Structure 1
Amino acid sequence: MDLRQLATMAAIVDEGSFGRAAARLGYTQSTVSQQIAGLEKTVGGAVFDRPGGPKPVTITPLGRVVLQYARDLLSRTDAMSAALDRFRAGEGRVDIGTFQSVTTVILPVLVQRLRAEHPDCDIRLFEEEADPPRVDDLDLVFFDGRTTGDVEHHKLLDDPYALVARRGTFPAGPVPLAALHGASMVAWPAVCDRPRVEEALARAGVAPRTVFRTTSNEAVLAMVRAGIGSAVLPRLVLDAADDTLSVHDLEPAFPPREIYLLWPAGRTHSPLAARAIEIAIEVAAAHHRRAG
């Protein structure tokens, strides 16, 4: 069924005549008549009674049935057209996978810039510590490492590790790894990148005494502030450090963790998702320059 025919029918009902409907739609009256004739052929009967002369046309019982569904179809078509316009303008929805330190340092700037450019966009964040990360049903994912599968990788930055301690625990300046042997430490559980840290310490022959574990970055820092122990954390986490804490380079340094942006290989991005990726790359580069 031709939507133009349905739109013409609705206009005739609204305007009360073929002539006024033609003027509203920008058609000739003969075009309006042809469209209604085509509609009547499709539905198998007259949709209007045409008394002729000055009397208005009236809709038939069959026409009322057609009109009921025609208005719904036209409304849905208008809604789809508006949604497509918003999509092309970047006002759709973007689903972003993230994790704690990215959420607190990089995501606020990304979201602020994206909303400034597209005020009506719908940004949804999904924070989890899965390894491998969930990629297929998200538009883009921040992850601290590469992953296997049909996934595109874009490296955003290197995130060096450092020692954070209650101020006065260690002298100013770099701290040798050997100084951590037997020391009280607060740490993440064996998720995220914690195994990499503990493997690096073990290779150096260093065995700290882990006294508390938590998945919360803020909880780790709170325990360090309370003097429970020190912690080895990526620098991105330590943006939340304050003057009650001291941050030290480690000697020798650990290999940094690598922060990547991931998305399903071969995916055609929406304009909003494509812009989110561009901004994420810009924000991460700016952070890397400041940190350097």
Structure 2
Amino acid sequence: MDLRHLATLDAVATEGTFGKAADRLGYTQSAVSQQVAALEKAVGGAVFDRPGGPKPVRLTPLSEVVLAHGREVLARAQATEDAVERFKAGEGRVDIGTFQSVTNVILPTVVRQLLTEHPNADIRLFEEETDQPRADGLDLVFFDGRLHGDVEQVKILDDPYVLVTRPGQFPAGPVPLHALHGAAMVAQPPICDQARVERVYADAGVEPLIVFRTADNRGVLSMVRAGMGLAVVPRLALDLPTDLDTHELEEPGLSPREIYLAWQANRTLSPLAGRVIELTKQAAEQL
């Protein structure tokens, strides 16, 4: 017994004759008869009483049992087919690991466009500031650096660092890295790319005085504005207009941080996850 048998049984039961069932299904009448014969062989008994002539056929007690369960099977099969079509069209769920700058600057554009295209998409974001996040358990993960392990990844953009100061603290133009030596500074925790930044300071013989650390970009800028110290931040951290001065760092200075989008290697991505990658690349190009 297969779905065609059940669909034919349902059509004949609904329409009353083999001819009308054939029209509904797009079969010939002989094809309907063959399907009914195959079903009767599968269930081991007659499924219709045939009075002959123009009178409609009648269900046998056996076919009533088969039809009751068969319609449930047909409904589940149709629901499965519909779900597969929605999945191929880009619906479903996508889980994305992110971090502060990406959440504030890149993902709003991506999520807005994704929901415009697929209003029923189930988008889940997970934000955690950590060294080397794991890609397993998520469809996609953003990180400010190349991930290690069994992953595929694409570089989204270079995010240059800038020195942020109160207005007028430095003349306009680039500032040498050694100007940070001994300066009071507000900084991110020494994880992720911030750890590399501080190694660059050390390699250049620059020892700033870190007076406050916070993972909150706006907290960093607030303390610079309050006069607590200077800050060196990625440009994406300046996601809103600011009244603070920004300066490039003179070369040789601090190379940009690299933002990657990664996913588990050897894993087939859903159409929705693939679309996130496309939209992320477009958003990065606009930046």
| TM-score normalised by length of structure 2 | 0.87
Amino acid at match of 1:40: E
Q: Which runs of 5+ in 1 are unaligned?
A: 288-292
Q: In structure 2, what is the equivalent of residue 113 of structure 1?
A: 113
Whole-angstrom CA distance in 1 between matches of 2:38 and 2:242: 75
Whole-angstrom CA distance in 2 between matches of 1:247 and 1:271: 40
Q: Would the aligned equivalents of 2:190 and 2:198 in 1 still touch at CA under 8 Å?
A: no
Q: Would the aligned equivalents of 2:167 and 2:245 in 1 still touch at CA under 8 Å?
A: yes
Q: Quote the sequence identity (%).
A: 65
Whole-angstrom CA distance in 1 between matches of 2:249 and 2:52: 94
Change beyond 3 A, Cα 1:168–1:61: farther
Q: In structure 1, what is the equivalent of residue 47 of structure 2?
A: 47
Instruction: Please state how far the C-alpha of 1:117 moved relative to its aligned partner.
Output: 4.0
Q: In structure 2, what is the equivalent of residue 290 of structure 1?
A: none
Instruction: Please state how far the C-alpha of 1:6 moved relative to its aligned partner.
Output: 0.5
Instruction: Please state how far the C-alpha of 1:259 moved relative to its aligned partner.
Output: 1.2
Amino acid at match of 1:281: K
Amino acid at match of 2:130: A
Instruction: Please state how far the C-alpha of 1:54 moved relative to its aligned partner.
Output: 4.6
Aligned residues: 286
Amino acid at match of 1:144: D
Q: In structure 1, what is the equivalent of residue 188 of structure 2?
A: 188
Q: In structure 2, what is the equivalent of residue 285 of structure 1?
A: 285
Q: Would the aligned equivalents of 2:145 and 2:192 in 1 still touch at CA under 8 Å?
A: no
Q: In structure 1, what is the equivalent of residue 59 of structure 2?
A: 59
Whole-angstrom CA distance in 1 between matches of 2:135 and 2:16: 55
SS at structure 1 position matched to 2:172: coil
Q: Would the aligned equivalents of 1:221 and 1:241 in 2 still touch at CA under 8 Å?
A: no
- Confirm whether residue 11 of structure 1 aligns to residue 41 of structure 2: no
SS at structure 1 position matched to 2:268: coil
SS at structure 1 position matched to 2:239: helix
Q: Which runs of 5+ in 2 are unaligned?
A: none
Change beyond 3 A, Cα 1:226–1:16: farther
Amino acid at match of 1:254: L
Q: In structure 2, what is the equivalent of residue 140 of structure 1?
A: 140
Q: Which is further off, 194-203 or 271-280?
A: 271-280
Amino acid at match of 2:13: V
How do 1:47-196 and structure 2 match up within 5 A? 47-196=47-196
| TM-score normalised by length of structure 1 | 0.86
Q: Would the aligned equivalents of 2:223 and 2:229 in 1 still touch at CA under 8 Å?
A: yes
Whole-angstrom CA distance in 2 between matches of 1:257 and 1:144: 6
SS at structure 1 position matched to 2:192: coil
Amino acid at match of 2:200: A
Q: Compute the RMSD of aligned alpha carbons.
A: 2.4
Change beyond 3 A, Cα 1:71–1:227: farther
Whole-angstrom CA distance in 2 between matches of 1:83 and 1:30: 33
Q: In structure 2, what is the equivalent of residue 276 of structure 1?
A: 276
